[in-house]
């Protein structure tokens, strides 16, 4: 009995130790995740502060880190990295030419990788977003054309990221080639619009959330209608317009098929 009791006690002690280590590991995991989240957000805050203080080189270092490493510590930073962060970097470039040169260098290096055959949709999205904030959207159109000529399958995968730039450049026939089924596109846009409306009802900022949903739906529909109108597919355009107006009736959608 003594042996049995000793073995049981020892086993209990070891299990307790293992459980403690597991709990410590889980706790440290949460702490590290929290610190990672803070580091990505804090880097963006610090970059803005440093720029406002005239410490442009340090601000640039923060921006480069955000672009190159923020997703490694916080994957959820993806949208911020390609919007607020790039916008701030481009603004820094207006005050500090070296920052602008660096941003263009990053864009050019990634463009070269794509042109050499690297099939990476996120890489294309990086380039498209940088071009957007540099106000060099024709560069995205040129890149898409090069990819389309070399690898149509990959071009089809990144088309949606390039669509707005193609429409702005009046590359309607090229856009029509990759737009897919307009009816399915509209159905997806309607689903997202309804989801945005539902979200706005519980949002801390309901009115801006509602307006954002309307804006996104309108932009999507108007692009589809513009492509159809400019490529002579009037029947499909009228059908899509009629359906879209049942979801959201506004002036932009009503006038989208008028001759420009």
What's the pLDDT score for residue 40? 84
208-250 pLDDT, tens per residue? Answer: 999 999 999 999 999 999 999 999 999 999 999 999 999 999 9
Is residue 117 left, alpha or beta, with left meaning phi > 0 and alpha meaning psi from -120 to 50?
left
What's the pLDDT score for residue 18? 36
- H or E element in which residue 64 lies: helix 56-73
In the DSSP assignment, the letter for residue 28 is: H
- Give the mean model confidence (pLDDT) for residues 120-135: 98
Is residue 6 left, alpha or beta, with left meaning phi > 0 and alpha meaning psi from -120 to 50?
alpha
- Give the mean model confidence (pLDDT) for residues 165-182: 97
What's the pLDDT score for residue 235? 96
- Give the mean model confidence (pLDDT) for residues 117-130: 98
Q: Is the pLDDT assigned to residue 1 strictly greater than 90?
A: no
Q: Of the ranges 7-21, 34-48, 134-148, which one carries the lowest mean pLDDT score?
A: 7-21
What are the structural domain ranges in the chain?
2-178, 182-254
22-34 pLDDT, tens per residue? Answer: 333 433 343 344 4
């Amino acid at each position: 009995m003594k042996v049995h009791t000793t073995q049981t006690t020892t086993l209990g002690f070891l299990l307790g130790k293992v459980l403690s280590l597991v709990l410590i590991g889980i706790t440290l995991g949460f702490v590290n995740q929290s610190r990672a989240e803070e580091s990505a957000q804090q880097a963006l805050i610090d970059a803005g502060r440093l720029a406002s203080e005239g410490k442009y080189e340090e601000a640039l270092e923060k921006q480069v880190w955000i672009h190159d490493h923020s997703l490694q510590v916080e994957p959820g930073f993806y949208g911020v990295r390609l919007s607020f962060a790039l916008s701030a970097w481009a603004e820094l470039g207006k005050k500090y030419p070296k920052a602008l040169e660096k941003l263009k260098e990053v864009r050019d290096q990634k463009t070269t990788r794509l042109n050499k055959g690297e099939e990476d949709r996120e890489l294309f999205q990086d380039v498209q977003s940088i071009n957007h904030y540099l106000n060099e959207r024709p560069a995205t159109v040129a890149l898409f054309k090069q990819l389309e000529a070399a690898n149509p399958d990959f071009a089809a995968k990144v088309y949606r990221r390039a669509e707005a730039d193609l429409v702005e450049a009046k590359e309607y026939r090229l856009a029509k080639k990759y737009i897919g089924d307009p009816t399915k596109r509209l159905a997806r846009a309607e689903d997202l619009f309804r989801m945005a409306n539902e979200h706005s009802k519980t949002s801390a900022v309901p009115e801006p959330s509602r307006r954002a949903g309307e804006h996104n739906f309108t932009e999507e529909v108007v692009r589809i209608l513009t492509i159809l109108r400019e490529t002579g597919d009037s029947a499909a355009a009228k059908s899509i317009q009629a359906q879209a107006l049942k979801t959201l009736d506004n002036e932009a959608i009503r006038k989208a098929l008028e001759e420009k």
